[in-house]
Amino acid sequence: MTTEMHTDIAIIGAGPVGASLAASLGARGIACCVLDQAPLPPRELPGFDGRAYAIARASQEMLEAAGVWERLPVVPCPIEAIKVCDGRVGERPSSLDLDFRAEEVSDAPFGWMVEARALRVALNRRLPELPSVTALAPMTAEVARDPSGATLRLADGRILRARLVVGAEGRRSPLRQQAGIRVIRHDYGQVGLVGAFAHERPHGNQALELFLPAGPFAQLPLSDAGAFGESSLPHASAFVWTEAAGNAARILAMDDAGFARELRRRLGDRLGAIEPIGRRWHYPLTAMHAARYVAARLALVGDAAHGMHPIAGQGLNIGFRDVAALSRLLGEAQARGEDPGSPVLLARYQAERRPDALMMIGATHVLEKLFGNDIGPVRLARRLGIAAVDRIPMLKRAFARQAMGLPLRG
């Protein structure tokens, strides 16, 4: 006989967004099953690999409520200040800059830098502790949906019946395609370079967002480099670096000394001597937005629903906002004894999340077009604009709270 299992929510994809949703639902006592085609423990890489996430305050609060934050194996580095400025490669940044300090907005940091491996470890520790959560990985499934529910035929022959399926499988989401949900895409013709470097001088928990003609360059503070064991330099930062595709290929092919020189040309000497650590990662930069976030018994979260330029560092945080909204709505439905996959609940989810993500996609697109050029009058105007925002406290505070994922008032 075929074994049949039942759950309320089936989550396809156990990446940061899908696994965080499972933890958030489990913390609320909601029965869920999370599936992924890859096994989870091997994702706990034994050494630092260069990837890190900027976790906004609202995202940190969601991870804390889900019981994930306290299980991080290393202390995250707080982002207590952000400097925003305009510049050119090899030149000093414009003195017309914008300085954000967290203490001017809130009693907490803007966010925290968390290593990718650390978040994976924390999620893997948390999920087995939750009685209402079942993790199946490695596992694939064929999914069929109808108005009454969803049936998942697992690769091992078992059948899983759920009241709602959540697609968290990334930008190529098979569930989204199966549902016939259209997407709008935009290719920026750019490549994002991601990694980390050790450096001589302390970063003071300050991040740098430098707008260059080829695209933005961000330096993000990490915990001291001693935890990585790869460099004699005492401090560390992550970088998120945008380049035209052709130039990116040339830079990625450099040895460590050449790559360090390119980093230094953008950073200047503010951090002293530098040395690349971990791997270098790269990916094409595109924007993507789904025409709908829901279908019958289906909700999309994270990159399955939206993707944006990394110019504001909000991609993963927007996914975590999906998690917070959907888990809250499902918790409210359970408390009222309502169907978690009902059209009414799904309409509420879409109405809450789609406008927010669309606004952020639009904002990052405008920022990229405004700052990603070297036209003289435009360069002067944006430098004056940056300086003006620095001198308007209410506007500056609004930008800061938006980046933190907090209400504009508060």
Q: What is the pLDDT of residues 209-244, one digit of tens each?
A: 888 888 889 999 998 766 555 688 999 999 999 999
Q: Is the pTM of this model over 0.85?
A: yes
Q: What is the pLDDT of residues 289-300, one digit of tens each?
A: 999 999 999 999
| CATH number listed for the domain at residues 70-115+188-285 | 3.30.9.10
Domains 4-58+117-185+287-371 and 70-115+188-285 share a fold: no
* Contact predicate 309/188, CB 8 Å: yes
Strand pairing category for 4-12 and 32-35: parallel
Determine the Cα–Cα distance for residues 115 and 46; give it in Å rounded to an integer. Answer: 12
For the chain, the structural domain boundaries read 4-58+117-185+287-371, 70-115+188-285
Q: What is the largest CA-CA distance in the chain?
A: 73
Beta bridge partners of 151: 144, 161
- Topology of 4-58+117-185+287-371 in CATH? FAD/NAD(P)-binding domain (3.50.50)
Give me the residue label for tokens 């439905």: 333
- Distances 63 to 21, 25, 122, 375 between C-alpha atoms, Å: 9, 11, 10, 42
- Sequence-separated (6 or more) residues with CB below 8 Å from residue 309: 188, 285, 287, 364, 365, 367, 368
pLDDT at 344: 97
Determine the Cα–Cα distance for residues 383 and 40; give it in Å rounded to an integer. Answer: 46
- Distances 166 to 294, 348, 405 between C-alpha atoms, Å: 9, 15, 23
Residue 229's Cβ-count burial label (10 Å; 0-12, 13-18, 19+) is exposed
pLDDT at 402: 60
Per-residue pLDDT of the chain in tens (410 residues, 90 and over written 9) = 579 999 999 999 999 999 999 999 999 999 999 999 998 875 555 566 778 999 998 999 999 999 999 999 989 999 999 988 887 887 777 666 778 888 877 788 989 999 998 999 999 999 999 999 999 999 999 999 999 999 999 999 999 999 999 999 999 999 999 999 999 999 999 999 999 999 999 999 999 988 888 888 999 999 876 655 568 899 999 999 999 988 999 999 999 999 999 999 999 898 999 999 988 999 999 999 999 999 999 999 999 999 998 876 788 999 999 999 999 999 999 999 999 999 999 999 999 999 999 988 888 877 777 666 656 666 666 666 665 555 656 655 656 566 655 554 44
